[in-house]
Every structure is written in structure tokens, then in C-alpha cells.
Amino acid sequence: MRLVGVDVGGTFTDLILADTETGAVTIHKVSTTPDDPSVGVAEGVGGLCDLAGVPRQSVDHVLHGTTIATNAALEHRGAECGLITTRGYRDILHIGRHQRPQHYSIRQAIPWQATPLVKRRHRHVVTERLVPPKGEVLIPLAEEEVRQAAQALREAGIVSIAIGFLFSYLNPAHERRARELVLEEHPDAFVTISSDVAPQFREFERFTTAAMNAFVGIKVREYVARLDRRLGETGLRSDLHIMASNGGVVTPATVAELPVFTMLSGPAAGVLGGAWAGALSGHRNLITFDVGGTSADIGIVTDGTFSEATARDTWIAGFPLLVPMIDIHTIGAGGGSIARVDEGGAFRVGPHSAGARPGPAAYGRGGTEPTVTDAHVVLGRLVPANFLGGAMSLDVPASEQVIDGLAARLGLGREEAALGVLTIINASMANAIRSRTVQKGIDPRGYALVAFGGAGPLHGAEVARELGIGEVIVPPHPGITSAMGLLTSDIKVDALRTAFQASTALDLPRIAADFAAMEAEIGARFAADGIEPAATRTARAADMRYAGQGYELRVPFDGGPVDAALVARAIARFHAAHRAEYGHAFPDATVEIVNLRVTGIGVRPKPANPSPRGGQPLAAATVRTAEVVFAVDGAPQRLATSVLAREALPLGERISGPAIVIQTDTTTVVPPGATFVADAGGNLIITL
């Protein structure tokens, strides 16, 4: 079976082809075509097949990570949308939580007010009202008003319409009926109902999620259709799957309906790729560390499973979204991060980035500000002759000049300043990792750091050292780890029911019925997607909190018949999770089950593990010896450092740092005191 993974980034589209039978892997990189990324994808896939020497029609599956939805949100370029909501609540989307995003600012712009997803003139109210605890109908739906709203929106030229009614997560009947009515009046409408997108409480966040789906929906739907067509024109006969933010792939049909689920498509694939690389070397507890030019994405994998974000921690473009997402923590720290001395004289690095253009001074494209990359150049860690496999040169004097300017402002020497840039950026990265580990009761010392992306392997060892992490894994092709991650994905479907049940008054039949209904729903979805039942499994979970709290923690629920003992086991897990997360538990307090969840997994074929070639003696792998600056007892020191070619490294031989390992898509820094080995799994393993 032949699998193709395509990850579209801002500058490059990364492609990988894996043959599950022969184990052969081919990689390819083409320029992204920002106006319509499907052009670059289709060309790239064609080129990849040619490169691998396989007929295009022999590709079985294409797996794709896309940033269409994310970019539409970030650039605020989506559809003009309409909203139909409960009478009396026209401005929930506008008032939000009545909180300003910034405490100390008069001149800030509030995203949902300054750049609304739905303008007020297109927000229509209709008479209806549901009430808790079960979504009882207090006021029936005024169907004629829905028709009138649909007509008004149609006449205003609005195609994308969200419907959000209060308490619809308890009873979706009104929203569903309203959708039927809208489609009767406006058959071309793209209708999103909030109970489909995010059936959980908190009206501002749920309505916003529905509105975001409407906002990006048409763009994403058209893109997927175009991509499907172009791939066909290129000669492919394969089926297409798209990476969703939850770390699974979904069918184009699902994406067309719920495009908001693809918001973190790209970074999610990175976490999967990191997990795959870690598994090659037998590691199941991993911190994935994907560093590019502008940002670093951090994910946590425990016992082979990535962690999911809690519903209230997911934001895109300043808007809160209630959709299942891998917990990925992104900070503005990357190779292009700019170092500066602020007005008060403090030394800062990031979050501003020089980006790809003008980029670091070293790129010779007119960059005049000192960046992290320039610091690496000045310290001798990036080797001009070998940067990007020699495809791009580095302007060393330009880097020296900008770092000297910084050093002068700080009253430091050139090398001290350059080391300072790295110390500060590494500390930011370590803090970001702490916020996802130490602060959540996870000891990072029990984890390995998987460093990838263009800049991850430059920083991995020093960041790991700061956190007391003993091992750093650099995957075989660090620059295309996300594309690799796509190949390892499964189909993943989430279902959810809001429960609001107290541990002191459990309605076990209702819990059982909810789980059964969700399991049936997922089964039907898999059947519709043509997935063999044998290749599927489901897992139950629940979001719980102490009664009265406002935030939930997700804990697993066992399968099988629902009885008191099964629920009690889940509640015991909640107490333990609370203690781990917050350092404290309240064992005597009443626990409230807020949401019940079922996740369905449709297992997909996986690529074979790489089998690295034997390598050569160390001397043959040594390109040269260079002087590279490292901090020794806090002071810069020039050390004689071997520059080694990754593809020529001898397998299984432990090599002492300092060393610089070069390969086409990245450079790995092994500091003094560390050792490393190219292992049989295809990874570099640095031991600190």
C-alpha cells in the first residue's frame, strides 16, 4: 500500500511517500502556492510520485494537513455570515464575557467587536426558549420567524449561516428544525448549528465556534473540492483524508460540514510525527518540540497518547473555540525571533520575528535586526557551506554586524551577547514546556524531548538540560516530521453529551443511554465512511469537576455496562487527576459529571519503520573540525568541534560532544558534556 503525506506550511509544502510493503520512503519539498495551495499540493504529489518512480494511480491514500481554515481566521478573511439566535440574546457574540483581552490598555481592539464574525445587521433573533436541566421547551420555536430571517439573509446575499440557541446542547431539536426551515427558504445556504459543532454549555464560546465554522466553512469546502479535483487531474485515484485538530484524520465530507475541526491541522500532525519518531527508539513519554522560523509548538505524549486541550484553553485569532484539539502550546520563539534592548534597557528576545522575509541578517535579504539564527551563525553553530544542504548561503559578516550592535547596547562582547540571545530564548522555550509539564503535575525528567522543525535540533539539547531532561531525540528527517506524522494518523471521531450529574444523585440509566447513543453514532459514521468494524475501537471519557467549580478535567471511563462501580472508578480517577493537575484534591466533595464523551478510532494502515543504512566510520562522517562557541561555566569558550554528516554517521557508536551534525533540512547541536548516537531506529539520540 502506498501512502502520501502532504503538509502545507507558509513557505514550503512538505511531501512524503511511504510504501507499507517495501518500507521505501521518498521525500520531496516544493514551494507553497499561497493563493491556492491545492496547486502546489497537486504538483508536489505528482513530482513526488515521479521521484519515487511509482505510477500516480498506484497511490492508495493521500493524507493532508492544511492551514486554510487557520489562515482565514488569522487574516480575518472568511465569508460574510449570518446568525439566527434566541430572541433577547442578539449580542452574545459581541459582548462575549464582557472582559477585555488586555488589562492595561485603552487602545486595544477586541477581536469579536472590532472584527466580528457576524455583523449585527446579520444577527437575527427568533422567538424560542429552552431551559435546564433537560432542555425543556419553555417557548416553542416560532417557525415563521425563522423563515423570515432566512429570507432576509438570502436577500442580503448571505450564504453562510450559523444557528445558535440557548441550551441547545441539552436539546438540539429547535436548532435542527431551524436548519430545515432555513434550507427550505435558502437551499444554497451553508448552515452550521451550534449543537453539532460544540454540544456543550457556555453560550458565547459555543456560538462563536458555530460562527467561526460558518466564517471559514465555504473557503475550506471549496478548497477541499478543488484539491480533490486537482489530484484527480494529476492522475491520482487515491482517497483523501484531512488532518483535524484532534490529532486524527477525517474525510472530506466531514471537513466540508465541520471545517472548524481543522483549525490546528498542521501543528497536530507535528505532534503525531514526534510521537512516531519517539516510538522508533522505544520511547512512549515524549515532549514534542517543533521549532520553525517564528514559533515553537510544544506537545506532550504520555504512554504513547497525546494530551488534549481542555475546552477553555483553545483560542484561534483571539476567538475562543470549543472544539477537540491536541494540547499544543505555541510560543513566539524561533530562528527568526528578534533580539533587542527595550526602552528600559532590558534584554529581550522575541516574540517578534523577522519571518522568512527579510529574515535574519544572515540570509542576506535585507534583515537588519539581530535574530536567534544570527546568534547561531556568530557562535559557529550554523555552518555556511552546509546550510540547507548548501542551497542557501549565510552572510556571516552581516550576522556579526547585527550581533555587535546588540552587544554594544548591552555592554557585552559579541560572543557573550550571542550566547545571551540563546540563553533567553532557551529559557522561554523551557518555561513553555514547564507550563505543560511541571505545572500539570508531570515531571519532565521522565520524558524524552523530540526536537524537530528547522530549528528544533539547534536548541533541543540546551533546552532539555535546563529542564533536567536526560534524552533528546532528533528524528530521521526533522524538517518533514509533520508530513511523516500525517502518515501515522488514524481516523478519529469525537462525540459529546452534556450531563450535569452530581455524584450524589447519579442517573445511571441516562449515562448508559448517552454512551450507547454516542457509540452508535460513531459506528454509523464509520460505516458511512466504509471502515471495517474490526479496524475500529471506541474510548469513553468524562469531563468532571467538583460541584461548584467552573473548570473540568477529562478522565477515562471504562467500557462495558454502566453500573455504580464503573462510575465510581471514573470518579476516583478524577480525584487523582485533580491532585496531579492542581496539587490538591477534595476527596469528600461532591463531583459533578459535566460532559460524557466517546472517541472513535478507525485504524489506518501505517508505514514501515525506517531501516537506516549501515553508515561509515566516524572519520569518514567528519566533514571538518570547526571552532564553535559554547558557554563553559557561564563564559564563552571556543571549542574544537567536529562537524559531522548525518547520513554518514556510524550506527550505534556513541560519540562525544561538542559536535555539530549537519543534514539537508536541519543542524543538530550537541553541547560539550553530552554524547550522542545514531540509533537503529533512524534517530539521533543525544544523552545529557
Partner 1 sequence: MDAHGSITVDPITTSVVQGALENIAVEVGYKLMRMSYSSIIRESEDFGAALVDAEGRGLAESAQSTPLQSGPIPGYVKHMLRILAARGDTVRPGDVIMHNDPYGGASHGPDVAFIVPVFHQGELVGFSGTTAHHLDIGALTPGSCGIVDAIDAYAEGLQFRAIKVYDRGVRNDAVWQILRDNIRASDLVVGDMEAQVAASRIGAERMAALVARVGLPAFRAACAALMDHAERLMRRAIAKLPEGSWRAETFIDGYLDDPDPSRRELPLVATVTKQGDGLIVDLTGTAPQVPDRPINMPLTGTVDVAIWLTIRSVLLDTAIVGHVPVNEGLTRPITIVAPKGCLANPIYPAPTIARFCPGNQLADTVMKALAQAVPGQVSAGIGNLKVIAFSGLQGEKHWVHMEIFEGSYGGRADADGMDAVDTLYANTRNNPIEDIETHLPLRVERYELREGKVGAGRFRGGLGSIRSFRFLTDGGASVEGEGHRFRPWGFDGGEDGVPARLEILRADGSAQALPSKVPHMAVKAGDTFVCEGPAGGGYGSPVERDPAAVAADVADGLMSSDAARETFRVALAPDGTPDVDGTRRLRSG
Least Å distance, CB 345 to partner 1, is 6
Work out whether the CA dihedral 548, 550, 555, 561 comes out positive or negative: positive
> CA 309, 311, 317: angle at the middle one, nearest 5?
85
- d(CA 322, CA 315) in angstroms, rounded, equals 9
Round to whole Å and give the CA distance between 173 and 142: 13
State in angstroms the smallest separation of the CB of 551 from partner 1: 4
Distance CA 570, CA 584 (A): 18
**Which residue in 387, 435, 440, 470 sits closest to 664, CA to CA?**
387
Is 587 near partner 1 (CB under 8 A)? no
When asked if residue 190 is in the footprint of partner 1 (CB under 8 A), the reply is no
Radius of gyration of the CA atoms of the chain, in A: 26
Please pick, from the candidates 53, 157, 187, 345, the single residue that binds partner 1 as defined by CB under 8 A. Answer: 345
Q: Is 97 in the site for partner 1 (CB under 8 A)?
A: yes
Smallest gap from Cβ 447 to partner 1, in A, equals 18
Number of residues that bind partner 1 (CB under 8 A): 68
Please tell me whether residue 439 binds partner 1 under the rule CB under 8 A.
yes
Residues 6+ apart with CB under 8 A from 618: 644, 649, 650, 653, 655
Angle at 300 between CA 571 and CA 475, to 5 degrees: 150
One-letter amino acid of 672: P
Q: Binding mask 233-272 vs partner 1 (x if CB under 8 A, - otherwise)?
A: ----------------------------------------
From 216-224, 412-420, 476-484, 512-520, give the range in contact with partner 1 by CB under 8 A: 412-420
Residue 656 sits in the site that holds partner 1 (CB under 8 A) = no
Q: Does residue 157 bind partner 1 (CB under 8 A)?
A: no
Q: Is residue 431 part of the contact set for partner 1 (CB under 8 A)?
A: yes
**241, 247 Cβ separation under 8 angstroms:** no
Of 75 and 107, the one with the shorter C-beta distance to partner 1 is 107
Q: Please, which residue, 172 or 476, has the CB nearer to partner 1?
A: 172
Residue 203: CB minimum distance to partner 1, A: 5
Contact 243, 65 (CB under 8 A): yes
Is residue 428 near partner 1 by the rule CB under 8 A? yes
In eight-state DSSP terms, residue 450 is E
Q: Closer to partner 1 at the Cβ: 7 or 415?
A: 415
Sole binder of partner 1 in the list 157, 188, 346, 534 (CB under 8 A): 346
Amino acid identity of residue 45, one-letter, is V
**Interface residue with partner 1, options 54, 152, 427, 539 (CB under 8 A):** 427
Residue 212 or 331 with smaller CB distance to partner 1? 331
Region binding partner 1 by CB under 8 A among candidate stretches 70-78, 178-186, 385-393, 432-440: 432-440
Distance CA 504, CA 502 (A): 5
Applying CB under 8 A, which of residues 1, 24, 54, 110 lies at the interface with partner 1?
Answer: 110
H or E segment to which residue 541 belongs? strand 536-546
Candidates 424, 461, 486, 596: give the one binding partner 1 (CB under 8 A): 424
Closer CB to partner 1, 137 or 589, in the complex: 589
DSSP classification of residue 264 = T
Q: Does 589 bind partner 1 (CB under 8 A)?
A: yes
Closer of 4 and 339 to partner 1 (Cβ) = 339
Give the closest residue to 402 by CA, choosing from 430, 422, 373. Answer: 373
For 339, the grid coordinates are: 533580539
Shortest distance (Å) from residue 631 CB to partner 1: 10
CA distances from 328 to 271, 305, 432, 498 (A): 8, 13, 10, 25
Q: Among the candidate windows 162-170, 211-219, 242-250, 396-404, which touches partner 1 by CB under 8 A?
A: 162-170
Q: Does 632 bind partner 1 (CB under 8 A)?
A: no
In the complex with partner 1, the residue whose CB is nearer, 69 or 577, is: 577
Cell digits of residue 330: 505555541
**Site track 498-537 with partner 1 (rule: CB under 8 A), x = hit:** --x-------------------------------------
Q: How many CB atoms lie within 10 A of CB 534?
A: 7
* Binds partner 1 by CB under 8 A, chosen from 132, 232, 446, 533: 132
Nearest C-alpha neighbor of 491 from the set 326, 352, 604: 604
Q: Which stretch binds partner 1 (CB under 8 A): 201-209, 488-496, 511-519, 533-541?
A: 201-209
Q: Is 76 one of the binding residues for partner 1 (CB under 8 A)?
A: no
Are 496 and 522 contacting, i.e. CB atoms less than 8 angstroms apart?
no
Q: Does 95 bind partner 1 (CB under 8 A)?
A: yes
Binding of residue 434 to partner 1 (CB under 8 A)? yes
With both helix axes pointing from N to C terminus, report the angle between 414-436 and 396-410 in degrees, rounded to the nearest 10: 80
Taking the C-alpha atoms of residue 181 and residue 184, their distance in angstroms, rounded to an integer, is: 5
- For the bound state, the minimum distance from the C-beta of residue 439 to partner 1, rounded and expressed in Å, comes to 5
- Residue 55 Cβ, how far from partner 1 at the closest point, in Å? 53
Of 81, 92, 182, 377, the one binding partner 1 by CB under 8 A? 92
Is the Cβ of residue 338 or residue 601 nearer to partner 1 in the bound state? 338
- Decide: helix, strand or coil at residue 216: helix
d(CA 459, CA 229): 41
Interacting residues with partner 1 between 557 and 586 (CB under 8 A): 578, 581-584, 586
Q: How far apart are the first and last CA of the chain?
A: 39
Backbone angles phi, psi at 82, to 5 degrees: -120, 160
Measured distance CA(258)–CA(578) in Å, rounded: 32
Give me the phi and psi of 436, to 5 degrees please: -105, -5
Parallel/antiparallel/unpaired status of strands 25-31 and 12-19: antiparallel
**51 versus 114: smaller Cβ distance to partner 1:** 114
Binding site residues, partner 1, CB under 8 A: 88-92, 94-95, 97-100, 102-110, 113-114, 119-121, 131-133, 166-167, 169, 201-204, 342-349, 410, 412, 419-420, 423-424, 427-428, 431, 434-435, 439, 500, 546, 548-551, 578, 581-584, 586, 589
